[in-house]
A and B are shown apart, each in its own frame.
Chain A
Amino acid sequence: MAAVQETVERVRSLDVDQYKYGFVTDIESEKAPKGLSEDTVRYISAKKNEPEWMLEWRLDAYRRWLTMQEPTWARVSYPKIDFQDYYYYSQPKAKPKSLDEIDPEILATYDKLGIPLREREALLGIESTAPRIAVDAVFDSVSVATTFKAELAKAGVIFCSISEAIREHPDLVKQYLGSVVPVSDNFYATLNTAVFSDGSFVYIPKGVRCPMELSTYFRINERNTGQFERTLIIADEGAYVSYLEGCTAPQRDENQLHAAVVELVALKDAEIKYSTVQNWYPGDKDGKGGIYNFVTKRGDCRGDNSKISWTQVETGSAITWKYPSCILRGDGSQGEFYSIAISNGYQQVDSGTKMIHLGKNTSSRIISKGIAAGRSENTYRGQVTAHRKASNARNFTNCDSLLIGDKCGAHTVPYIEAKTASAVFEHEATTSKISEDQMFYCLQRGLSSEEAVALIVNGFVKDVLQQLPMEFAVEAQKLISVSLEGSVG
């Protein structure tokens, strides 16, 4: 059997055993009644002790959502979703008040996932070697722990669950929530606005460089449960923050729904770096199960010379529908999008970005690396626009696809529009295959097929991996090997 063929076979035979995070945590949880109605929305709001204005906002979104249609323009296909067949809220029964009170089962879950939730241990043992990262852990619908809060507070940084922010920092929330992704932005974002359960809130005050990396770790545990997290990050003038997001879920036969909204606001001279390693359960080898990941992520470079940078490593989910975008409003603002999207088995990925140039001298950069294996479909969809006043807008787009085997597909769908003559947009795209000759060359030098594929793929995605914070890059590199080969790692 030819070497590439063999690799393809191996990839094809890849099954659920390869998904390391597919275990279920056995804890008691409290759920909203199944299905979606105004009552569900009220239930969620009440559970969270929300103020009236928040409930009104949710109800308004819910009513608008009822009039909206699910979008169909993405290159993905799936059976019609019955939105009444999901639970919209699930929380572990015993609600912890401090880190010490967290259900040991949940702590064990995060331990198993390699996420340290116990500050004390993090402070004692590994301080010198491992970089410290503050973590907000979201388990099903609620944030169960946020670490290093006290230390961050010293720097004036607010890092807490969005539920807590709604109660404790209502002015900031009112000012910014929904200001980047409006209530009726799109079907899933509007749904999220109605039923969002939890997520993270970050505020970095003027001139502050956040003293550590911030991270949120999302875990869907309950069966048939939708996860609708809402994240809001605000970097005030001259502030800087680097934020990491990770996600996993148990392996289940049904498709679970995940529809998040992430809003970033960068004021004058501020910079936000947002990195995601998305590893939701992708479904089994026949395409059964897996997460439907319909996500709206958008950053607003609201102030002059602000910068927002998205980096994503997408390896999981049965279906990914995701376009982290930048609105380049401030003069001289910069947007970046670095993406690695890997699809295998029957996964379908439709992902990309939008760079909307509004201000003068704005620039954006898009580097997208799509890798398709198995019977997957991998689409890059990108939009770059410059408005009339966006003089000297610049964009550079480089979009490469790599195919492994001949049963998968890679597609590139760019939309480019410049309403000012001074805009300079450059677009490069390539599609390549791992060739038999490359495999043979590697094998002749002693590499196994797995090592060869990993080496070639890592070479292919190198430009993007370099954008990730060090400790995430290592994790991502391993994840890439595991997603593609099954036997490595």
Chain B
Amino acid sequence: MALLEINNLHASIDDKEILKGLSLKVNAGEVHAIMGPNGSGKSTLSYVLAGKPDYEVTEGSATLDGQDLLELEADARAAAGLFLAFQYPIEIPGVATMTFLRTALNSQRKARGEDELSTPDFLRLVKEKAGHLGISQEMLRRGVNVGFSGGEKKRNEILQMALLQPKVAILDETDSGLDIDALKIVSEGVNALRSKDRAMVVITHYQRLLDHIVPDVVHVMHKGRIVRSGGKELALELEASGYAAYGQDAA
């Protein structure tokens, strides 16, 4: 069984069906890209998998390492190893990023029956991971995502992924709003987390990111379904032809 396995998934919000029978299998060690025009349901897929309230699954299944994701609360899905890098990371004023990271890590460890990390061990870990991503100690003292630039927010998402070491990571438009230097830092951070035990789903609108994070498989999503799958060359083809075939321009 694949590490992430989605079968015939139907989901709606406010009685409007967005996912219309989506199937996807991602094996451990693989990186899959999902591309597709705006509004095709890419973010919806990530929210439904992560258990965002208000989305209703009407049909189909989704499992992580054989465990039924859909019956779990969002926090239990996280503890089971699912991570979502948000397209638009959320601000939490007054809560220092460092405190947030520590609470998150310890909550997951607790949920898995592991001991909490000691303060020195935690600080050492954060310092190392943050250093690679060019995140300063000063930034870690600021409120979660408060006053962060677009690039800083995205780097902060990758830092969380690096700390939480998920089994399955979904990255939703992690490249949007990044200049080329920031894109490189973020891509390096993601590549460093590629591992034979981990599966990644990289959602993007543009081929550009896939020059840096080279996927094993590329899928095209349209109107709530995967309509085409292929190798990394599919991304280049889409870049050339745009999403015109899917009723929308590339931009």
Residues of chain A at the chain B interface (Cβ within 8 Å):
1-3, 5, 435-438, 440-449, 451, 455-456, 458-463
Contacts and interface: CB of A to CB of B under 8 A. Distances in A.
A446 B75 contact: yes
B79 A436 contact: no
A443 B100 contact: no
Contacts of B75: 443-444, 446-449
A461 B83 CA distance: 29
A445 B94 contact: no
Contacts of B143: 459
A16 B111 CA distance: 29
A456 B111 contact: no
Contact of A5 (B53, B94, B96): B53
A417 to B, nearest CB: 31
A298 B95 CA distance: 33
A445 B78 contact: yes
B164 interface: yes
Given A441-B92, A459-B143, A446 B53 contact: no
Contacts of A437: 90
A445 B73 contact: no
A459 B74 contact: no
B108 to A, nearest CB: 4
A371 B147 CA distance: 24
Interface residues of B, number: 33
A444 B84 contact: yes
A448 B51 CA distance: 13
A451 B107 contact: yes
Nearest to B75: A443
B162 interface: no
B93 A460 contact: yes
Contacts of A446: 75, 78-79, 104-105, 107-108, 111, 164
A68 B53 CA distance: 54
A462 B50 CA distance: 30
25 contacts: A3-B74, A435-B90, A438-B90, A438-B91, A440-B50, A442-B92, A443-B73, A443-B74, A444-B50, A444-B74, A444-B75, A444-B77, A444-B86, A445-B100, A445-B104, A446-B79, A446-B108, A448-B107, A455-B99, A455-B100, A456-B92, A458-B95, A459-B99, A460-B93, A462-B94
A442 B54 CA distance: 16
A444 B105 CA distance: 11
A455 B95 contact: yes
A459 B94 contact: yes
Nearest to B53: A2
Among A443, A448, A461, the most chain B Cβ lie within 10 Å of the Cβ of A443
B160 interface: yes
B93 A2 contact: no
